[in-house]
Amino acid sequence: MSVTDPNAAPMRETAFSVRTRRWRELSATILSNPTTVIGLVIIVALLAMAVFAPWLASPNTPDPYQMPRDWGAVRMPPGTPGHVLGTTNQGGDVFYGVVWGSRTSLQLSIVVVSVTVCIGIAIGSIAGLVGGWVDEALMRIVDVFLSIPELIFALAVAAILGPSFSNIILSLCIVFWVKYARIMRAQIILVRQADYVKAATVIGDSKFNIFRRDILPNAVTPIAVQATLDMGNIVLVGATLSFIGLSESGIAEWGVLVSEGQAGIASGRWWASTFPGLMIFLWALAFNLVGDGLRDALDPRTEGR
């Protein structure tokens, strides 16, 4: 009754080696896409910038997230000794802003994405698993949220909360979970009826274990992709909110810097907003490239085939 297996694997295989190989294969697929690699390189560079910020641009104020003011060197063009990228109207060093701004952005995107993903998964799972009127009610709330464009909604919330960077984070958290909840619910409903879930029920496994082992791992892939894309998008939205003045002025944040520098553009002082603007662009681009690569690599039609 034995089946000859032409490519029988060596006996040495262990669960660990197989699982790591799966990750290796997955990363190989991801890395085989040049645009994804470009994105990854940019992300790594930006992360390095955030990590080494104190060494790249040492702070001289008690709060390193505040732009240092050097009133003796306002509106210096790029290339000025001590101010490679020039200075702002208030004598802030643009290079300092660019470097420390990466920390602010990282903080913003990590906090917002992790909070919203958790809320989204929780709400989406409850809606998808419980169903009935609970689902109905939650989805109506989601619909209300979705009917207002994200940016305008976040803007309104941030405006109500008052201008501050932490309020921007809070408002983005309030707005961005909706998308994840919706994706999660759709995924749960799809995965819940898979035969392997039925098989686990027949085996006698508990509902919680089935959720943990069967439903969740098979439902989260699109969330991971969306979260990666949002790591970039959220910085963009956050910068927009900062730009229109919903953040405190004077903090090392790309959006704030662009906003504060734009007044000078007309008089030829392009650098104060161009460099932070470029950073926002790079950040959003990099995460979008990686997110797209991830989506292709995780595509169920091609994965593992």
Per-residue DSSP letter, 148: S
- Two structure tokens written together for 152: 């305008």
Q: Which is nearer to other proteins, 152 or 194 (CB)?
A: 194
Q: Which stretch binds other proteins (CB under 8 A): 69-77, 201-209, 228-236, 263-271?
A: 201-209
Burial class (CB in 10 A: 0-12, 13-18, 19+), 235: buried
Longest dimension (CA), the chain: 88
Least distance in angstroms from the C-beta of 226 to other proteins: 19
Q: Which is nearer to other proteins, 28 or 47 (CB)?
A: 28
Taking the alpha carbons at both ends of the chain, their separation in whole angstroms is 27
Residue 8 makes contact with other proteins by CB under 8 A:
yes
List 48, 130, 199, 278, residue binding other proteins (CB under 8 A): 199
Q: Which is nearer to other proteins, 82 or 300 (CB)?
A: 300
Residue 66 makes contact with other proteins by CB under 8 A:
no
Element at 98 (helix H, strand E): helix 94-130
Residue whose tokens read 């295989």: 13
List 162, 195, 268, 301, residue binding other proteins (CB under 8 A): 195
Residue 205 makes contact with other proteins by CB under 8 A:
yes
Interatomic CA distance for residues 57 and 22, integer angstroms = 41
Residue 79 makes contact with other proteins by CB under 8 A:
no
Q: Which is nearer to other proteins, 9 or 266 (CB)?
A: 9
Interatomic CA distance for residues 192 and 218, integer angstroms = 10
Q: Which is nearer to other proteins, 43 or 225 (CB)?
A: 225
Residue 19 makes contact with other proteins by CB under 8 A:
yes
Using CB under 8 A as the binding rule, the residues of this chain from 22 to 51 that contact other proteins are 22
Q: Which stretch binds other proteins (CB under 8 A): 60-68, 121-129, 153-161, 206-214?
A: 206-214
Least distance in angstroms from the C-beta of 196 to other proteins: 4
Residue 141 makes contact with other proteins by CB under 8 A:
no
Instruction: Return the exposure string of 93-132: e unless at least 16 CB atoms fall within 10 Å of the residue's CB, then b.
Output: bbbbbbbbbbbbbbbbbebbbebbbebbbebbbbbbbeee
User: Alpha helix locations (H) across 148-241?
Assistant: 150-161, 165-192, 195-203, 207-210, 216-219, 221-241
Residue 209 makes contact with other proteins by CB under 8 A:
yes
The neighbour count for residue 252, using CB atoms within 10 Å, is 28
- What is the size of the binding site for other proteins (CB under 8 A)? 38
List 44, 52, 134, 196, residue binding other proteins (CB under 8 A): 196
List 214, 230, 253, 260, residue binding other proteins (CB under 8 A): 214
Q: Which stretch binds other proteins (CB under 8 A): 14-22, 61-69, 115-123, 153-161?
A: 14-22
Interatomic CA distance for residues 203 and 231, integer angstroms = 40
The neighbour count for residue 290, using CB atoms within 10 Å, is 25
Nearest to 252 by CA among 42, 40, 41, 56: 56
Q: Which is nearer to other proteins, 197 or 290 (CB)?
A: 197
Contacts with other proteins, residue ranges (CB under 8 A): 1-11, 13-15, 17-19, 22, 136, 194-196, 198-205, 209, 213-214, 217-218, 303-305
